[in-house]
Amino acid sequence: MINYGFFGSIQEKKEKQPREVVRKEEPSWIKKTCYQVPGLTKEQQDELYAIASTLIFLNPEKIRSSYKELTNLAVKFEKSKDFIKAKLNRRIAIGLAIYEGNKKGARTNIVSYAKLEGDEGFGKKALEYLEHLFWVQEHGHGYKPRAA
């Protein structure tokens, strides 16, 4: 771009180059929590994080349904053969059960979800790592259960 400077001289104006903004992303509390569990290898912590990040909600307070309502809806949808809605309700119920510290409810819904999904391997891994998630919860790291 040409700019006419003082006393009529011609100067070339340098165009401003956009500056790159480098943001250092802070790991989520789920990731921090999963990597604090003692006794796990790096690979196991990675697997725990992969499972936890699909089951735990970042803002569970925004879910207006209760764990029991979601579980009952899932059963209703299973009976009516609407498996997509059943899986969705099971998955949300798992997240709420974990949030509330409801081990039995989380286990029950994980087993049912794995059967609906046809992925028993996911169910076994999720149940295995569920104990680690509850250990973290009970020892005050990261995820705090709400009062039921």
pLDDT by residue, tens only, the chain of 148 residues: 555 555 555 555 556 666 665 555 656 667 777 787 778 888 988 888 887 777 777 677 788 888 899 999 999 999 999 999 999 999 899 888 888 888 899 889 988 988 998 887 778 888 887 877 777 667 665 544 444 4
Give the 3-state secondary structure of residue 73: helix
Residue 22 pLDDT:
56
The whole-angstrom separation of Cα 56 and Cα 51 is 9
Distance from the Cα of residue 53 to its chain's centroid: 3
CA atoms of 112 and 75, how far apart (whole Å): 10
Beta-bridge mates of residue 10: 4
How confident is the model at residue 70, as a pLDDT?
A: 93
List, in sequence order, the alpha helices (H) in 80-146.
Answer: 83-100, 103-117, 120-138
Give Cβ neighbours of residue 80 (< 8 Å, ≥ 6 apart). none
Q: What is the pLDDT of residue 68?
A: 92
pLDDT at 72: 95
Is 49 exposed, middle or buried, given 0-12, 13-18 or 19+ CB atoms closer than 10 A?
buried
pLDDT at 147: 46
Domain boundaries, the chain: 26-138
